[in-house]
Amino acid sequence: MTEEKKPNNLGTQISSPEKAEKGKEPLMQPKPEDIEKVKAKLENLKKKIIKKYPFTVSLSLLPANSFPIFEEDEQIPQEEIAKKPLHLMLIIPEEQYKNLPKIKPEIIGIVKEVKENVWIHIKTPVDVFNYGLDSKYEFVEAIGVSFPLHDKGFLGALRVAVIHKSLVLRKFEKYVASYVIGGSLVRGTADKTSDVDTFVIIDDTDVKRMPRIELLEKLRGIIFDYIREANAMAGIKNILNVQVYLLTDFWQGVKDAHPVFFTFIRDGVPLYDRGTFLPWKLLLKMGKIKPSPEAIDLFMKSGEQTKEMVNRRLMDAMIDIYYGVITPTQAMMMLAGEAPPVPKTMAEDVKKILVDKEKLMSEKELKTLEKAVRYFKDYEHGKLKEISGHEIEALLKESEEYIKNLKKLREKLEKSVQEKSAENLYKEVFGLLKTLFGDKPHPELIKEFDKELVKKAKIQERFLTILKNLEESKKKIKEGKLDAKATENVKKDAYDLIKSLVEYAQRKDLIKSSKDVIEISYSGRKAELYLMGEENFLIERETIRKFKDNKLVKSDRKELEAALQKHKEKLGHKIPGEIFAILQKELGSFELVI
């Protein structure tokens, strides 16, 4: 069995990665190695022409395999053809057309003077585009791909359109109804920065299964991809604007005399046409393309809708300004350590934190925020139906000033946050040291830290340097002498120090709890002896007794917990020997279980 061949239509052509038929042989330029030779050969001729006619639009060398069509079209004598001259295309402005009888013999004189074997064709942009209107597309293509010797922008703009047309035809030649240029290029006002406007009309009448919207999007994707390739091949900076239409849609637009299509048909020049565009152009000139009553009503209605559209856009502008104020304000609240407030409570929260607490935002700035919020709330609740351009202008001006001040506020807030963070770390570190060594001045706490922890190898030596630098860093942060990176390093070191101090305190508590609680066994009973130096307790089940005045007296859990808390804050203590004499007296013979 042979494989069933898929029908060849536009849908399958879009999906196929292969390009369509290669078509005719492309117009050829000189080989790369010959380009510089040709350019040097014609340089003197070009200079003389440009000097004589500074208004010259472009001067270029036509492709070699296009010579015969120009020779035939202009009926060049056979004796001149036999000399095999190079054919140059000189484009002059349309307003110089009246001077052509004078320019032609002067050009012949210049050619004889430089003694070059060339034939110069003199045209205006109108002459070039008349080739397209006469369906002589090969002439326009030859001029478009000719090698430029001088160009003010016309030739480059035409070249990118011609190349793009060729790429589109190679892919969709069977389905391209028309490829048309328009805009400044056709009007004769194109320069080296002008956009190049083109229209591509694709015959979609054989598409049955693919939705038309999907078809149009796929066509645009492929045809737009060729724009980059055409620009690269043309070597110009002009932007190529391509409009892609389906034939059925275009017919509808023509029938309704839509202004876009009307202008396109009136001014456009085909670079390729399969009997579609030129008949439209002729019908338009004959006055046969007239808008339907429905089309007239539609466009009249568009005019009536202008005010509504403007009001909607002004309202959209107000919403954009609102979010332009709200979003960075939420960022400031987050920087202040708060959750980003919802728009409903935004003004109240900002007043509480940034105005009253941090004292960073002024009442004037707060009013701008409140104004933006009020406008948006009124819009949300249906109270605000329209807004004037004057109001938008005033709101925009205020919002710009607000954002400007918000940037300054950020710097102040970041500094404030850094100062508070440094202050909190400072307090936490020295608070831990006071817990370990008692309520002493900071210099003494640092000495105790060195003596009891660093020198006894209970904590790393590097933390002594961090501790000494902490107070100095705090001052530098407050004075704004530390940048964000240096501040983060200080925080990181402080967090490491706090972690080590906490771990040491936990180890100390564990050691103390194992040393200071001793189990006692006497007369077949057991009790626990809590030794804390000044206050000591004996606990047997629910009974708590305290050593006082050389005897055991009744106590309670509250007194025990208070003693334990006080005991935690001391590194060490001494146990009086009388404790064991009292135990002997009160309990009799006993044993310590260690």
Secondary structure element (H or E) that encloses residue 488, with its range: helix 484-516
- The pLDDT, as a whole number, for residue 573 is 67
Measured distance CA(71)–CA(108) in Å, rounded? 17
Place of tokens 């135990």: 583
Measured distance CA(228)–CA(234) in Å, rounded? 10
Q: Is 275 helix (H, G, I), strand (E, B) or coil?
A: coil
Measured distance CA(265)–CA(422) in Å, rounded? 73
Three-class secondary structure assignment of 437-457: HCCCCHHHHHHHHHHHHHCCC
CA dihedral 291, 294, 299, 303 (to 10 degrees): 140
- The pLDDT, as a whole number, for residue 481 is 63
Pairing of strands 543-548, 551-554: antiparallel
Secondary structure element (H or E) that encloses residue 517, with its range: strand 517-522
Q: Taking each helix axis from N to C terminus, what angle separates 154-172 and 212-234, rounded to the nearest 10 degrees?
A: 130
Q: Do residues 231 and 187 lie in contact, with contact meaning Cβ atoms separated by under 8 Å?
A: no
Secondary structure element (H or E) that encloses residue 500, with its range: helix 484-516
Residue 287 zone, left/alpha/beta (φ > 0; ψ -120 to 50; rest): left
- The pLDDT, as a whole number, for residue 309 is 81
Place of tokens 């906490």: 502
Q: Is 551 helix (H, G, I), strand (E, B) or coil?
A: strand
Mean pLDDT by 10 residues, the chain (594 residues): 50 54 50 72 91 94 92 92 93 92 93 91 93 93 92 91 92 87 81 85 77 81 89 85 88 77 86 90 80 62 72 89 90 83 85 86 89 89 87 91 88 74 76 80 83 79 79 66 68 79 65 63 84 84 84 87 73 72 83 72
What is the pTM assigned to this prediction?
A: 0.50
Q: Show Cβ contacts of residue 387 under 8 Å, excluding neighbours closer than 6 positions.
A: 311, 314, 315, 318, 375
Residue 295 CA: distances (Å) to CA of 243, 261, 309, 412: 22, 13, 20, 61
Secondary structure element (H or E) that encloses residue 150, with its range: strand 147-151
Q: Do residues 112 and 97 lie in contact, with contact meaning Cβ atoms separated by under 8 Å?
A: no
Instruction: Return the closest-CA partner of residue 547 out of 582, 593, 588, 587.
Output: 582
Burial per residue of 453-484, b for 16 or more beta-carbon CB atoms within 10 angstroms, e otherwise: bbeeeebeeebbebbeebeebbeebeeeebee
Please name every residue paired with 536 in a beta bridge, in sequence order, or none if there are none. Answer: 531
Rg (CA), the chain: 46
Measured distance CA(228)–CA(243) in Å, rounded? 15
Question: CA quadruple 313, 307, 260, 216: dihedral positive or negative?
Answer: positive
Cα angle, residue 112 at apex, residues 111 and 118 outer, rounded to 5°: 45
Please name every residue paired with 591 in a beta bridge, in sequence order, or none if there are none. Answer: 521
Residue 250 CA: distances (Å) to CA of 177, 392, 438: 11, 40, 91
Which long-range contacts link 356-359 to residues 24+ away (Cβ below 8 Å)?
358/413, 358/416
Instruction: Return the closest-CA partner of residue 343 out of 357, 329, 361.
Output: 329
Strand order in the sheet with 536-540: 551-554, 543-548, 536-540, 525-531, 517-522, 591-593
- The pLDDT, as a whole number, for residue 304 is 63
Structural tokens at position 43: 């340089």
pLDDT in tens, 12-61: 655 555 444 444 445 555 555 567 788 888 999 999 999 999 999 999 99
Task: For residue 534, give the DSSP letter.
Answer: S
Structural tokens at position 559: 């007194």
Place of tokens 């964000």: 484
Query: How many residues are given for the chain?
Result: 594
Strand order in the sheet with 147-151: 118-123, 86-91, 58-61, 147-151
Structural tokens at position 153: 């922008």
